[in-house]
Structure 1
Amino acid sequence: MAHDKLGPGEHGEIFIKRHKSGKFQARVRVRLFNGEETQVSRNRKTGAAARLAVQAEIDTLLNAPRGSAQLKPDSRVGLAARQWIDDLRLQSTWPNPPRRPQTVDEYERLLGTQLIPKLSKYRLNELTTAVCQDWVNSIIEAGKSGPYDMVVTAAQARGAFKAVIDRAIVHDALRYNPMDKTTTPKRKVPDPKAMTVTDVYRLRKAVRDWECARVGRPGPPPTGHVPAAIDVMLGTGLRIGEVLALNWGKVNLSRDGLPTIAVDATLVDIKGHGTVRQEMPKTDAGKRTIIIPKFTVESLEAIRPPITRPDMPLFPSRRFRDGRASLKPQTPHNVRRTLRAALEFANMTGEVHPHLLRSTVATFVARERGMADAAALLGHKVNGGVTVRHYIERLRLAPDASTVLQAMVEIGEEEAAKATHQRTTGADAARADAPAVTAAKVAVAGEDSGW
């Protein structure tokens, strides 16, 4: 007798037969979602009980995850995590990739330090929300005995593991994500810090004094690169990786127009490749052209070689004896190390780091020109909804904040000049004028610059 063809997820008529032993057997044909056909049978004391048992088994078969060629319900968590990383690595090579290679490196480091030591030997079908929450809790508890609270790490690890299990669901190794109901503490609200105009003056003076102190000493001669890099960051708000990725072909210092810097790349650390130039900034909104202030122009003119090529980095890693510059840029690690040495020389150890300069530029521009201009200058996306996404051609020229940033440097120089003048007029005069100086400083900081 021919059977009717079943569709995926369908079952035939349930047949019930009584055996000589008195027990009832229910049986039925079932076609699974992968196309396979199987037969289910169950024996019970009554026909109704046998029918219910078969129906329960049908429900289990049709709803239970069966896995794929890559991942099964009983696969180890470590394997699922490795496959997720491998998928991300492949996707990072796509045009306009969803994740950059350095982001994949960070995910791999995060899972390797937080997930693998604790859950890698669990099987996927052994994971429960309780097991996952205990894992998250262990990260938080580990932070209580250290210098950091690990809240951010726990949130990042939770998000990465959730994505690992989402991929397992795609491969039909699981039907629900046990990480969905887990929780982490709320992150602390960031409290951005910015330098004062006097601090900006002290920093610029410190790196120049350090360069002068190296003249005549053993080792490579001073190049002026660190002071110039500091001035580029102060004049643009660029990240250190964006600054060091700049080529002379992207810099316009001509006197017949507005001096500009075009940002379209950054330096990143990629596992197995070291520090490389990524031909795109951190975000798409990061592609922009910035009008630079006078002090930045002067610093760049001071280090500009007599002959430049468009692909020549502003801050090459070395200069050869014949005057040629390397086409390999300095790395952020090297510049940070040099900055630390300059700060130590000026007794400013720990006071400044490169990202603080970015916060300083953002704060100064926001207070003078508004949040939107500050965001555009820093290369952050300004949300405009559907209109911006589909109808308005993107303007790559950042708002002109060069006069604001030039004022930031000049006010700092004026403050330093006043302080020097007070020290040279004698101790008595300085004590007499101290209240007036303090009031003047507050007025400049509070009214003129918005600080």
Structure 2
Amino acid sequence: MTSQRNKPGQGSVYQRKDGYFVAQVHIGQDDNGKPKYARKTFKAESDALIWRDKAIVEYRLGTFIIPSTITLGEWMDIWLEQYARPNVRPKTYECYEYITRLHLKPKLGNVKIQSLQTTQLQRLLNEKRQSGLATRTVELILTTARTALKQAMHDELINKNAADHVRKPKPSPKQISVFTVDQMKEFMFVAEEDRLWIAFKLLLGTGMRVGELLALKWGDINLERGHIDVTKGTVLVKNEHGPNKTHQIIQEPKTKNGYRRIPITEDLVRQLKRWHFLQFFEKKNAEGKYEDSGLVVTTKKGRMVTQRNLATKFHRLLAKAEIPKTNLHSLRHTYATRLLEAGVHPKVVQELLGHGSIRITLDTYSHVLPDVKKQAIDKIEGMLSPRKMGRVWV
């Protein structure tokens, strides 16, 4: 095919000596005032002509994207370092990096970002779900891809987000572990003998997350009025500097719902006063080696307790109390379950737990709702019957 010279704002197609066809579109001028072109190479002339005509229309509509050979894997690396790392929490970055390294790059890393199709991402998610990967992890794969591709759109690398129309996997029913009332009593009876009994008492008595408990300071507690203000949380992140692989940091809640005030019982107030005295006694006997961090739950030297060590202690107490093994989060579930069983409105439970919506609360504790409904129906027992027996119809 003979070369077709184009005027500014138009395009052309020409054949190279090697037989390939080059489609080009005039897209303005460079910094030196010379014509600037966007070009793409094709084996077939018909494909080159189609691309040229489409590119001209998109350019005039303002939706044209300059061809790029960057792959999804290359873009994920750029996005992680330039956009994610400086702007998200350390734990969120670790999650993005983990999902990219283990799930996105192995399967789709070599695909050009401009060629990525929704069906490819959907196939990846379906395969991961069928392999037995947790629903939450599969959702994180989609979230990570969608967020990175959204930035690629903003940077004009692509004109559509291939992840926008991928269907999320159907969530599996949540399996939660809850102590019975007898198990609660037995566990606390055993836990009373442990130095950190107050930690387990607080988890069962407030429904706080473990990270929130470990970040709790005495300044967040009002013993006179009997309430706790949740304003911080701890999270375990990779340790880039130092001998340990990970370390625990304190950070603010991710959403406004995380900030909340939790009323506490008079018994818990007494227990906290008792613990405060014991902590003061430990500080006095530490001979200047005590780290006064202001934290409520601490080691004998005043240092922050790690989630791992608290979980280890928890499992030992479970074994001693002859309660089936579960995780620390079950104490939070137990708190919520007891409230719902007592007839507390789910909206109140949602606010006490710091859930983002009442739907989360209802979905998580659906196992309690049938009993709550039955209790509600029992309350109107007799309301539909007359006070005195009237005429008997036969």
Per the normalisation by structure 1, the TM-score is 0.61
Q: CA deviation at 1:242?
A: 0.7
Seen in structure 2, the aligned counterparts of structure 1 residues 79 and 357 have a Cα distance that, compared at 3 Å, is same
Match of 1:341 among 303, 309, 316: 316
Could you say if the C-alpha distance between residues 114 and 29 of structure 1 is closer, same or farther in structure 2, counting changes exceeding 3 Å? closer
Total equivalences in the alignment: 316
Partner of 1:271: 238
Q: Which residue of 2 aligns with 1:262?
A: 229
Does the 8 Å contact 2:29/2:35 carry over to 1? no
Structure 1 residue 64: Cα displacement: 4.5
Once the two structures are TM-superposed, the CA of residue 362 in structure 1 deviates from its matched residue by: 1.6
C-alpha spacing 1:239/1:53, structure 2 compared with 1 (3 Å): closer
Does the alignment pair 1:182 with 2:163?
Answer: no
Match of 1:246 in 2: 216
Distance 1:344 1:181 in 2: 48
Determine if contact 1:242/1:267 at 8 Å carries over to the other structure: yes
Query: Would you identify which runs of 4 or more consecutive aligned residues in structure 1 move more than 6 Å?
Result: 33-36, 51-54, 307-310
- The one of 332, 357, 371 equivalent to 2:331 is 357
Secondary structure of 2:272 counterpart = helix
Match of 2:45 in 1: none
Please report how far the alpha carbon of residue 337 of structure 1 lies from its aligned counterpart in structure 2 after TM superposition.
0.8
The CA distance in 2 between the partners of 1:34 and 1:333, in whole Å, is 58
Letter in 1 for 2:86: L
Distance 2:37 2:176 in 1: 65
1:9-408 aligned at under 5 Å gives the runs: 11=9, 30-32=26-28, 37-38=35-36, 55=53, 58-59=56-57, 64-66=64-66, 73-86=68-81, 87-92=83-88, 100-143=89-132, 149-190=133-174, 192-209=176-193, 211=194, 224-225=195-196, 227-253=197-223, 257-272=224-239, 274-304=246-276, 305-306=279-280, 311-317=293-299, 319=300, 325-326=301-302, 328-350=303-325, 352-367=326-341, 368-381=343-356
Contact residue 124 and residue 174 of structure 1 kept, 8 A? yes
One-letter amino acid matched to 1:369: V
In the alignment, the residues of structure 2 paired with residue 66 and residue 246 of structure 1 have an alpha-carbon distance, to the nearest angstrom, of 52
- Please list the CA deviations of residues 241-295 of structure 1 after superposition, one character each: whole Å capped at 9, or x if unmatched: 1111112222333xxx322322211111122263334242343222223221133
Rate the CA distance shift 1:343–1:181 in 2: closer, same or farther, 3 A.
Answer: same
Alignment gaps of 5+ in structure 2? 1-7, 13-23, 39-48, 241-245, 284-290, 359-370, 380-394
What secondary structure does 1:125 align onto?
A: coil
- Bigger radius of gyration, 1 or 2? 1
Q: Deviation of residue 331 (structure 1)?
A: 0.9
**Equivalent position SS for 1:369:** coil
Aligned equivalents of 2:141, 2:51: Cα separation in 1: 42
Alpha-carbon spacing, 1:52–1:165, altered in 2? closer, same or farther (3 Å) = closer
The residue matched to 1:278 in structure 2 has which SS? strand
Structure 1 residue runs without a partner (length 5+): 1-9, 16-27, 41-50, 68-72, 93-99, 144-148, 212-223, 320-324, 384-441
**Aligned AA for 1:233?**
L
User: For 1:32 and 1:358, how far apart are their aligned partners in 2?
Assistant: 61
Report the alpha carbon displacement of residue 32 of structure 1 after superposing the two structures with TM: 3.9
CA RMSD of aligned residues (A): 3.7
- Structure 1 residues 378, 310: CA separation in 2 closer, same or farther (over 3 Å shift)? farther
CA distance in 2, matches of 1:88, 1:52: 37
* 8 A contact 1:32–1:61 mirrored in 2: no
Percent identical among aligned pairs is 22
| TM-score normalised according to structure 2 size | 0.69
**1:109/1:230 CA distance change after superposition, 3 Å:** same
Shift of 1:238: 0.5
